[in-house]
Amino acid sequence: MPPPSNRPDQPPASPGVGATVDQWLAYLEAIHPTEIDLGLDRVLVVLRRLFRRKPGARIITVAGTNGKGSAVAAVERLLRAAGRRTGAYTSPHLQRYNERVRLNGEDISDDALVKAFEAVEAARGNVSLTYFEFGTLAAFVAFDEASLDDWVLEVGLGGRLDAVNVLDADFAILTSVDIDHVAYLGDNREVIGFEKAGVLRPGIPAVYADADPPRSVLQQSAAQKVQMAMFGRDYELMPEAQTVSGFPSVVLNYQNQPIRLPAGPLPVKSVAAAVVAVRQLEPGLSVAVIEQVLLGLCVPGRFERLGSSPDIFLDVGHNPHAAGWLAEQLGSVKPPGRRVHAVYGALADKDVEGVGKAMAGVVDVWYLASLNVPRGLSGNELQARLADAGIGHAPAFESVGEALKSSLSSAAPNDLVVVFGSFFTVAEGREILLADDSAES
């Protein structure tokens, strides 16, 4: 989960030798006056102290409004199948910070993470870094220490001014451009597209994973002579009348070679973009291996199934674009005549009304959960905002746990329950469901 935004006036003393990951994270949350402070100047100063030259690994940077984590997971898995040693950096996390930094498919150990934190702390001197900036540099240190071949990096916010962008990409994936984080990125797709396309570099190959790219993306791509593979122009997805891993299947047509992909549980456009990228990065990887690797590929919190009778899904879709995709996924797996029960919790700066409208056609019963975190909406506040979107009866609850309990007691065995919205919502629901599974086993 992201860190809270409340910080003391005076930062604490740096953790000493033997400090735990939790002690380091508490320190990271307090050393900068704001949670988000876009810009590369401070990060670049510390990066140059840590690395005298660009790391020798191949840098694959993934930006976009939605679908970034899915693209990272697919690229990571495929590169490993090609025999590459990989590091993957994603954010935020659900249960443990270590989820953000993966070395060869495994979450980083506490010892390696603390060692990386110590290296960044020693290098930064009096340079103030945000929680995300500090963690990003620590991931770079850990990857370099592990002598990896490829670093697959997910942008945290935007692109142009995000800490990840301090490293020049050798390959870039733009998954989608839509409205989110308006206060930082702007309120229209052209402005946001300009920010996302800031991860492009002159002459590098790239993939744009969605239809209708903003003009700002096309302009930057052309100006920098980026070799951009475009969805709908250079490759396409064609539905077919069969299933893969329980989901409808699609055929990716790229370079005159069909590749069959499942249309779930991850956004298939993001997965397809990952395949297009890896076909360029590792052309020797066979179609048979690609198809096998992607069977059963999943990401925690992305249409993740964690229960049956009723089926329970979790998804971190927290903006209208992501909610629209989630609604399609639920519609594709909803049994005829059965109901969808939705546990929803959100932060105050999100387009709650837009999310509600995107989900209204598939949700039969709402359960609105209070998020007791900075910027979290109460169930009653959420209720009022959804009413403005035309959603009437939607009871409010004091916590995700209470809302989830009510939904499970009301749902019939063949119904669907979905816990979605903020990462905080999904993290709390996921922790409860995993604890219940553990207690039953």
Contacts of 2 (CB under 8 A, 6+ apart): 35, 91, 92, 423
- Average pLDDT for 414-421: 97
- Average pLDDT for 278-288: 97
Say if strands 101-103 and 86-89 run parallel, antiparallel, or are unpaired: antiparallel
**Cis omega before residue 335 (within 30°)?**
no
- Average pLDDT for 400-423: 97
- Average pLDDT for 370-385: 94
2-30 pLDDT tens trace? 444 444 456 678 998 889 999 999 999 99
Q: What is the pLDDT of residue 34?
A: 83
Q: Which domains are delineated in the chain?
A: 21-294 (3.40.1190.10), 304-440 (3.90.190.20)
3-state SS record for the chain: CCCCCCCCCCCCCCCCCCCCHHHHHHHHHHCCCCCCCCCCHHHHHHHHHHCCCCCCCEEEEEECCCCHHHHHHHHHHHHHHCCCCEEEECCCCCCCHHHHEEECCEECCHHHHHHHHHHHHHHHCCCCCCHHHHHHHHHHHHHHHCCCCEEEEECCCCCCCCHHHHCCCCEEEECCCCCCCHHHHCCCHHHHHHHHHHHCCCCCEEEECCCCCCHHHHHHHHHCCCEEEEECCCEEEEEEEEEECCEEEEEEEECCEEEEEECCCCCHHHHHHHHHHHHHHCCCCCHHHHHHHHCCCCCCCCCEEEECCCEEEEECCCCHHHHHHHHHHHHHHCCCCCCEEEEEECECCCCHHHHHHHHCCCCCEEEEECCCCCCECCHHHHHHHHHHCCCCCCCEECCHHHHHHHHHHHCCCCCEEEEEECHHHHHHHHHHHHHHHHHHC
377 vs 354: CA distance, rounded Å: 15
pTM for the full predicted model: 0.94
- Average pLDDT for 330-349: 94
195-245 pLDDT tens trace? 999 999 999 999 999 999 999 999 999 999 999 999 999 999 999 988 887
Whether the pLDDT of residue 407 is over 50: the answer is: yes
Identify the band that residue 33 occupies on the pLDDT scale cut at 50, 70 and 90.
confident
Q: What is the pLDDT of residue 1?
A: 52
Q: What is the pLDDT of residue 296?
A: 84
Q: What is the pLDDT of residue 397?
A: 98
Pull the structure tokens for residue 227.
Answer: 């070799």
Candidate from 10-19, 264-273, 309-318 with smallest mean pLDDT: 10-19
Q: What is the pLDDT of residue 72?
A: 98
Whether the pLDDT of residue 441 is over 60: the answer is: no
Whether the pLDDT of residue 408 is over 50: the answer is: yes
